Copies of this chain bind each other. A is one copy, B any other.
Amino acid sequence: MQQILQRASSTARTSRTLIIQQVQRLLSTQLEFTKDRYNIDRGKFGTLDDTHYGYFEDLLGKDRVIRDPEECEAYNVDWVKNVKGMSKCILKPKTTHEVSAILKFCNTHNLAVCPQGGNTGLVGGSVPVFDEIVLSTTLMNQIISVDDISGAVVCQSGCILETLDSHLAKYDLMVPLDLGAKASCNIGGNVSTNAGGLRLLRYGNLHGSVLGLEAVKADGDVVDCLSTLRKDNTGYHLKHMFIGSEGTLGVVTKVALQCPTRPKATNVAFLGTNSFQNVLKTFRKSKHSLSEVLSSFELIDAQSLNVVTKHFGKQCPISQHPFYILIETHGSNATHDEEKLHSFLAETMSDGVVLDGTVSSDPSKIADIWQLRETITAALQHDGYVFKYDFSIPIKTFYSIVEIMRERLGESAVTVCGYGHIGDSNLHLNITLKEYSEEVHGKIEPFVYQYTSQMRGSVSAEHGIGFRKSKYLQYSKSASAIGLMKSLKQMMDPKGILNPYKVLP
């Protein structure tokens, strides 16, 4: 594993993706079908026959209708090898017109469809549960236009996030979104799951930065909201229905994004402190002193860092403390930003809030520091079985669930750790055991969900609901809100052909 880690050294982000991919391959791929693991019945949808295949092959050509079982496998299993569908038909449209024709046909013939982008989702939303047709957007990868003055960028939904970002670099622009999965995930999937990521704190969420989109409804109707304007108050703001609804209300085919200027300077600080209260004080101060240049504020507790040093032999660049903070700045003037960051560090240290810290503007050192944060997920796999949670919790009580679970589980857990985007109140609680135990599972769930609900937190901060979390939706949404969601689904997709078994309970 250390060799894998060392080989993949170009950038922290890319190496994290590679490491996780290789860990995945090391894990058993002998995954049971979802339908056999979960107590779930197939919906009353039609079954594919030769007439259907004939229509698709006429529309797309044979090479874009995948029927070979081995080739279908990759589209049936999710990235974290957690769920497995049994689709026998993968369709690869290239245009909105083709998506529209496919959906119209499927709606008429009552055939269920699972839209799929880069298939990097973490909650089983992007793979079929039974034999749904997979509608893959991977060939819809055209970048349509870049307005280098306004920053409005239009592309098809199958563009890979990293590819789009590299293209924008030529215009000194960037995608206002950065994820571990950037090398594989599709922009349409990002929009459909309302992906958050590492720099939401600075660049905001997709509801703010999607200028417009084009989506196809279950009945094939194309909804054109592909505005490239920052201000457009003409009627209901329909595009937001498709942002975060995980492909259950429509298939996103094109996206217009407001892209910010690429920063000329990036700096990183890695700090150590002795209490969660001091983490909060540091965050508060960073918002006032670093303010407009702050691009990331991440928490790593000692237990999280410990798994990285233990399993991957990484070194902590500062002395040991109960809590570590990773701060990143993005700005237009390197000297100004370094001055701000150094004076911030000096002040927080002289106040006794931060006990140790290092600041760097050197890209390779920055990558090393980011690796400490980004390899936690992979390192945790080495402990044994991992329970993973992605909660949002109001910031003042952000860390309490980690302490409560540590106390509640005692010696029965190998590691109980918390890390994440504290700047967005987004906590990744992870609990590892030597091996899976139903008894320990019962001590963890549903308690963690109930606790998060009591704190008015979210049981899924950025990963979404997908297939695996639909039963937990009630912990974060009222009965009235869930009722309204069901009405929306009924209005948009009365036959329920779009991504069935997902999101709604």
Q: Which residue of B lies closest to A339 (CB)?
A: B336
Closest to A469 in B: B234
Residues in B neighbouring A485, C-beta threshold 8 A: 235-236, 238
B-binding segment of A290-298, A364-372, A376-384, A435-443 = A290-298
Tell me the smallest distance from the CB of A484 to a CB of chain B, in Å. 6
- Are B394 and A234 in touch, CB under 8 angstroms? no
Option from B223, B227, B243 in Cβ contact (under 8 Å) with A458: B227
**Interface CB pairs A-B, < 8 A, 10:** A201-B230, A229-B392, A229-B458, A230-B424, A232-B458, A234-B465, A235-B503, A291-B332, A336-B340, A488-B491
Instruction: Give the docked Cα–Cα distance between A363 and B221 (Å).
Output: 54
CB neighbors of B among A312-334 (8 A): 330-333
Q: Using Cβ atoms and an 8 Å threshold, which residues of chain B touch A292?
A: 263, 292-293, 330-332
Q: Name the segment of A136-144, A145-153, A301-309, A349-357 touching the other chain.
A: A145-153
A196 neighbours in B (Cβ, 8 Å)? 230-231, 233
**Shortest Cβ distance from A459 into chain B, in angstroms?**
6
- Does the CB pair B238–A244 fall under 8 Å? no
A175 to chain B minimum Cβ distance, whole angstroms, is: 16
Measured between beta carbons, the chain B residues less than 8 angstroms from A456 are 227-228
Q: What residue in chain B is nearest A288 (Cβ atoms)? A: B261
The distance from the CB of A16 to the nearest CB of chain B, in whole angstroms, is 20
State whether the Cβ of A289 lies closer than 8 Å to any Cβ in chain B.
Answer: yes
A503 to B150, CA, bound (A): 28
A488 to B235, CA, bound (A): 11
Chain A residues numbered 198-239 whose CB sits less than 8 Å from any CB in chain B: 200-201, 204-205, 207-209, 221-225, 227-238
Partner of A261, one of B222, B233, B234, B291: B291
- The stretch from A20-28, A40-48, A55-63, A279-287 touching chain B is A279-287
Residues of the B chain whose Cβ atoms lie less than 8 Å from the Cβ of A172:
288
**Cβ of A249 < 8 Å from any Cβ of B?**
yes
Q: How far is the CA of A237 from the CA of B331 in the complex (A)?
A: 32
User: Which chain B positions have C-beta within 8 A of A228?
Assistant: 394, 456
How far does the alpha carbon of A478 sit from the alpha carbon of B201 in the complex, in Å? 34
CA–CA, A477 and B291, complex, Å: 38
Interface check A473, CB cutoff 8 A: yes
